[in-house]
Structure 1
Amino acid sequence: MKSKETFIYGILLGVLGIVLFSSKAVMVKLAYQYNIDALSMLLLRMLFAFPFYMVIAYIYRKEQKEDVQKKDYLWLVFFGFVGYYLASYFDFVGLTYIKASLERIILFVYPTIVLLFNKLFLKKPITKLQKLAILITYTGIVITFGSEVSVSGDNTYLGGFFVMLSAITYASYLVGSGWLIPRFGVMRFTAYAMLVSCVCVFVHYGFFFKTEIFNYPWQVYVLGLCIAVFATVIPSFLVSISIKLINSSNFAVIAGIGPISTIILAVIFLNESLTTLQVIGTLVVISGILLISKSKKS
């Protein structure tokens, strides 16, 4: 019974982390109204997040669950580079071309990629329950966003391409984190991986951008701080804890709540409309999440 309660707890933490992560797309779109470019917005996100991760890395510097070897640190650097630097950069670029709701439906392919990566590289089978839950959540997504997907113009295709790259790179991070978290510990792994991502963004900006980062309206910096705290720092740890408790494959299934939360936030803050079909689709996605919660083991 205790393991079942732990599994449910992991699902709830995962859902909260996903919802907070989903708020990023809406806040980024709000920031783009002030004519800030994708890399500068990403830089602000990481600048504000960096001190939090430094403090957490120091506090949990001795946290270690298993013997960590040099190659594990190399893998950590790799997944920090791919998972939060490349994935975030591709996503921010994609959002300059497409709306937040369309970004989420494209990004939602990453749960399937996680399951495939787990099967290919970690030899983890895809269970019948996971397949059914994925089918249900995808059905809900199709219902919810069916009326939203209207591709028009080369820029929309380009934006979709970048978001797809973001989905692939983020999926690789989730798979890698599921493997490395038991070795480093949740807090230590997450803080180290995010610090790697922050440094990558700083280097990228330093080499390729010459614009002044402190010349934007004050609203941009408020949004940057909110993205850093509520859509980066807090959910990054919630997701890592969730993956530890329920594994990356099950986390990939409950990630179906992400696009739904995005469209709800878009309705509230971006004045996008919410239709009856979208409400129905939301309920279908939630049913898929409830189905995976019935699993008795992670």
Structure 2
Amino acid sequence: MAPAAPEVPVVLKQDPGSAGGPGNLALGYTFAVLGALTFSSKAIFIKLAYAEGMGVEPLLALRMMLALPVYLAIGALSLHDRRRRGEGLPAAGLLIKAVVVGALGYWVAMYLDFAGLSLIPAQFNVLILMTYPLFVVIFGALIFRFPVQIRAVIAFAVAYIGIGVIFSGRLGSADGKMILGAAFVLAAAVTFALYMLFAKEVIGRMGARLFTCVTMVAVSILAIGQFLIVDPISALSITREAWIYTILLAVVSTIFPTFLINAALQQITAQANSTIGMLAPVASILLAFLVLGEMLSVRDMIGAALVIGGVGWFTLGGRRSL
């Protein structure tokens, strides 16, 4: 997301490729928090765009069309910087690996997430999607043999209890459409967790900025191509409000968090990054209250306090152990 540094934090033992210095960890935590906060606005903008009559494929395509020039420009700058430092282009195998990993995390997971949001409320989407940190820990232990310490288990437990408190009593009756939507989002959580784990080694070799640009350019091509196959061009004729929501989705919920999350992965462990990401559902609740006018109950505030407390204890406790 390593210079000679004090002992790595006992929060989670660093998986290979993590930086260990206190300054790097602080920077990584900052990137992870900002990534979670910007990412949390995604469900709000998507729901607002759907309310304007947009479909899944057109919204995905427009989102990536708007973001693509930024990724191309920053990618070109990254390549220029590599040449200036006397470094060659990344090997073809590494570029292919970046494309495959990026497609897993930002195309497959993104499409499943968008499809799920078209079938279930935003609150349920966030609840299910935020189970991905648990899958990061499970797959990290099973596939990569990463150790998991008790601090992570306690932080997960506290944060998940908080999420459960927030969303308890909101599920109502689950019909077939809701079950299908929930399955889509759960699959998105699994694929994004795998991305978090597989991306770290590639980011360490390529650098966060270039990796982000390579993966997101590939994802943009896939999303635009998918739209051209399944929808007519006329589907891009949308309302002024839908354009506003799509632009906000592209900038605030796509460009910012992709760079921030990948920069965090260069500095801290995938498990730490994903645990801090559990701040996103709390931010989504607050955004729903501020933007959509949804009620913020005492139960919501108690749940938010538990999530923030669990994540805060995880990060700050680890920092003190340096």
Q: Tell me the TM-score normalized by structure 2.
A: 0.87
CA distance in 2, matches of 1:243, 1:74: 20
Distance 1:120 1:9, change over 3 A: same
1:161 to 158, 183, 195: 183
How far apart, in 2, do the equivalents of 1:287 and 1:38 lie?
35
1:124-273 paired onto structure 2 within 5 Å: 124-273=146-295
Corresponding residue to 1:18 among 36, 51, 63: 36
Map Cα deviations across residues 237-291 of structure 1 (whole Å, 9 max, x no partner).
1111111111111111111111111111111222221110110111111111112
Report the counterpart of residue 15 of structure 2 in structure 1.
none
Partner of 1:76: 98
Larger Rg over CA atoms: 2
Partner residue of 2:64?
46
Partner of 2:136: 114
SS in 2 for 1:277: helix
Per-residue displacement from partner, 1:49-70 (whole Å, max 9, x unpaired)? 0000000110001566999544
Please state if 1:35 is matched with 2:53.
Answer: yes
Distance 1:26 1:66 in 2: 42
Partner residue of 1:102 out of 118, 121, 124: 124
Tell whether the 8 Å contact from 1:113 to 1:171 is kept in structure 2 after alignment.
yes
| CA distance in 2: counterparts of 1:115 and 1:72, whole angstroms | 25
C-alpha displacement of 1:73? 2.1
CA contact (8 A) 1:143 1:278 kept: yes
2:270 corresponds to which letter in structure 1? Answer: S
Q: Is the 8 A contact 1:142 1:281 kept in 2?
A: yes
Change (3 A) 1:160 1:180: same
Structure 1 residue 151: deviation in Å?
3.9
Q: Percent identity?
A: 27
Q: Equivalent residue of 2:210, what SS?
A: helix
Q: Secondary structure at the match of 1:147?
A: coil
Map of 2:305 onto structure 1: 283
SS in 2 for 1:170: helix
In terms of mean alpha carbon deviation, does 20-29 or 241-250 score higher? 241-250
Letter in 1 for 2:30: L
Partner of 1:295: 318
Cα distance, 1:89 vs. partner?
0.8
Structure 1 residues 120, 99: CA separation in 2 closer, same or farther (over 3 Å shift)? same
Q: Aligned to 2:236, what secondary structure does the other structure show? A: coil
Which ranges in structure 2 are unaligned for 5 or more consecutive residues?
Answer: 1-5, 7-19
Code of the residue aligned with 2:290 in structure 1: it is: I
Q: Is the 2:119–2:177 contact (alpha carbons within 8 Å) kept by the matching residues of 1? A: yes
Aligned equivalents of 1:255, 1:146: Cα separation in 2: 21
Instruction: Give the C-alpha shift of residue 33 in structure 1.
Output: 1.0
Cα offset, 1:23, TM superposition: 0.2
The residue identity in structure 2 corresponding to 1:9 is L
C-alpha displacement of 1:100: 0.8
1:209/1:118 Cα in 2 relative to 1: closer, same or farther (>3 Å)?
Answer: same
Select between 221-230 and 67-76 the one with higher mean Cα deviation: 67-76
Q: Pick closer, same or farther for the CA change 1:170–1:43 going to 2, 3 Å.
A: same
**Which whole-Å CA distance do the structure 2 matches of 1:150 and 1:251 have between them?**
32
Distance 1:160 1:214 in 2: 27
Deviations along 1:40-86, one digit per CA (max 9) or x if unpaired, are: 11111101000000001100015669995443222211112111111
Runs of 5+ consecutive residues of structure 1 not aligned to the other structure? none
Q: Contact 1:63–1:188 at 8 Å: present in 2 too? A: no
TM-score by length of structure 1 reads 0.94
SS at match of 2:318: coil
Query: Is contact 2:95-2:214 (8 Å) kept?
Result: no
